[in-house]
Amino acid sequence: MSKIVVKFGGSNLKTKSDLKKILKVVESYKKPLVIVVSAFYGITDFLSSKISGSLETKEAIENIVSEMKKHNREIVGENITDLAYAQKTLMELDGIVNQLEKFLLGVHYIGEVPEFLEDQILSFGEKISSILLHNLLESKGLKAELVFPEDLPLITDGEFGNASVDFEACELKIKSRLSGNKIYVIPGFYGVSPSGKTTLLGKGGSDYSAASIARCIEADYLDIWKDVNGFMTADPKLVEKPRRLDKITYAEAAELAYFGAKILHPRTVEPLMEAHIPVRIFNINGTLDHTKPVSWVNSEEVVLDGVVKSVTYSDEFCIVKLKGPGVGLKPGVLAKVAGKLSEKKININSVITSQIAINLLLHKKDKNAALQVLKKLGLHTVTDVQAIDDVSVIAIVGQGMLDNYGIAARIFTAAARVGINIKISSTGASQVVSYIVVDRENRNNAVREIHNEFFTNN
Ligand code: ASP
Ligand code: MG
């Protein structure tokens, strides 16, 4: 049976009564669905921030457990009116929080936080929200089944914290597991390693869970519900009257997400592109009509006259510079740099080199670890390693970037018009994106002026 995968994220789970809106949406589809759900807003970060406290005292663990149970009781009280269902839900939730407590105690007794326990602990936000949603649906008479990723099983490559789904290992099993004529509720954000260990799919990874499941069941659509109006030409907080983007391509969505747009996780489109499964984005604060998405992502390439579709930014990156008179010409320097960083699981987001400098665009969180390994490279060609982290990356995205002249010139002219110096720029890495790096203090002006250049003046 053809199905739609529907994903509700933390942005749909901010207040205690948000589950009511989700219920309305689910009811409006009037058909069996596969629902993937994230944790309540802030719960994953809450758990993450409390792990170190669990190392120190058991009291810290008791506090986490009682806070989680209190939160659960409040949400059940607000949403599940049928008494018997409310009791059943609370029992299931208490059971799951007791499991969480055991893992926290594990951390306490071991005296450190092994990766496998960290992934286990952080997966509980999604377990809780899926139990809540499943019981809510059943209490309203909908036929629903709760399935945990370990029971699908959603098998990954086993990398803790940032796993990838192994489709060959699980695609067929998942398709047959989810073939019933009912609603399935599945917690997002994690899968299991080949040996059955919980592995997270990366920060914000429930979108990727949902996309992976959509691919496995050959879904008609992946519907992602948000609390904003989908993809825009720029962040409405920065730019006056940005336009909404009805349609963008997988590649454009991926680049926008990679460079900071918060609508989708950057990996969402990966499992969908080959299978041509469209992503439809909906605003839960708009009309609850599942036939009217605010943005639509698929493979249909549309080149606009002005080429550019959106200007986004990220403050999450830093530049690490390796200087030395011959770093550009000497073979093997980049290989060594990349090798050392990858040993530390540090991802290089972009590289620009010249004869006397290698510039790496890295995530800020990796800055110190990167500096540490790169300062010990032992290459006499590298005379200095520096990091610049007070920067923002501004990405200008649109199909046709490489085939049309004058785009880079307009970006540079716009920045120059407001006196902004561009520290690094890159065009040509993909068909759809150019980016510049500017001082953080210039970020807002740069976004506004570049957006003006492409959307207002013309
Ligand atoms: N709850 C997870 C996180 O905060 C996954 C998600 O929201 O998609 O990263
Ligand atoms: Mg999310």
**Residue 458: pLDDT band by 50, 70, 90 thresholds?**
low
Counting atoms of ligand 1 from 1, which one is nearest the CA of 207?
8
Say yes or no: CB of residue 400 within 6 Å of ligand 1: no
Nearest-CA residue for atom 8 of ligand 1? 204
Q: How far apart are CA 164 and CA 143, in angstroms?
A: 31
Rounded CA-CA distance 434/394 in Å is 9
The string of pLDDT tens digits covering residues 201-227 is 999 999 999 999 999 999 999 999 999
Q: How far is the CA of 265 from the centre of ligand 1 (A)?
A: 10
User: What is the reported pLDDT for 457?
Assistant: 59
Q: Give the ligand at the shortest distance from the Cα of 264.
A: 2
Burial of 447 (0-12, 13-18, 19+ CB in 10 A): buried
304 or 61, higher pLDDT: 61
CA distance 249 to 257: 12
Comparison of pLDDT for 302 and 8, the residue scoring more:
8
Q: How far is the CA of 218 from the centre of ligand 2 (A)?
A: 22
Confidence check: pLDDT of 295 > 60: yes
What is the CA(39)–ligand 1 centre distance, in A?
A: 6
Mean pLDDT, residues 269-287 taken together: 95
What's the CATH superfamily of 4-298? Answer: Acetylglutamate kinase-like (3.40.1160.10)
Give pLDDT, residue 273: 94
What pLDDT score does 379 carry? 84
> Which CATH number is 310-456 given?
3.30.2130.10
Which atom of ligand 1 is least distant from the CA of 125? 1
**Mean local confidence (pLDDT), 84-107:** 98
Which atom of ligand 1 lies at the shortest distance from residue 9's CA? 7
Helices and strands (H, E) in the chain, number of each type? 14, 18
pLDDT of residue 245: 95
Task: Choose one of 8, 38, 263, 265 to mutate for the ligand 1 pocket test, by most ligand atoms within 8 angstroms of C-beta.
Answer: 38
Over the stretch 357-413, which tens digit does the pLDDT of each residue have? 999 999 999 999 999 999 998 888 899 999 999 999 999 999 998 888 889 999 999
Q: What are phi and psi of 83, to 5 degrees?
A: -60, -45
Tell whether ligand 1 has an atom less than 6 A from the beta carbon of residue 38.
yes
Q: How far apart are CA 341 and CA 344, in angstroms?
A: 5
The pLDDT-based confidence of 326 (bands split at 50, 70, 90) is confident
The string of pLDDT tens digits covering residues 336-351 is: 999 999 999 999 999 9
Q: Is the Cβ atom of 260 under 6 angstroms away from ligand 1?
A: no
- Give residue 381's pLDDT: 87
* Mean pLDDT for all residues in the chain: 95
Q: Is the pLDDT of residue 2 over 80?
A: no
Assess whether pLDDT exceeds 80 at residue 242: yes
Return the pLDDT at 404.
84
Nearest CA to ligand 1 atom 3: 204
Query: Which tokens hold the place of 21?
Result: 């809106």
Distance (angstroms) between ligand 2 centre and the Cα of 206 equals 6
Domain residue spans in the chain? 4-298, 310-456
Residues 71 and 43: their CA atoms lie apart, in Å, by 10
Residues 6+ apart with CB under 8 A from 192: 149, 150, 153, 154, 155, 156, 198, 199
- In the prediction, which pLDDT does 456 show? 86
Q: Is the beta carbon of 268 within 6 A of some atom in ligand 1? A: no
Contact status, residue 440 vs residue 391, Cβ threshold 8 Å: yes
Look at residue 66 and tell me whether its pLDDT is greater than 90.
yes
Percent with pLDDT over 90 in the chain: 88
Give nearest CA residue, ligand 1 atom 6: 204
* 202 CA: nearest ligand 1 atom: 9
Q: Are 410 and 401 in contact (CB under 8 A)?
A: no
Binning pLDDT at 50, 70 and 90, where does residue 1 land?
low
Task: Point out the ligand 1 atom lying closest to the alpha carbon of residue 209.
Answer: 8
Q: Which of ligand 1's atoms lies nearest the C-alpha of 45? A: 4
Residue 428: predicted pLDDT: 80
Q: Which of 29, 37, 103, 119 is nearest to 75 (CA)?
A: 37
Q: What is the pLDDT of residue 152?
A: 98
**Mean pLDDT of the region 129-138:** 98
Residues 142-147: what's their mean pLDDT? Answer: 98
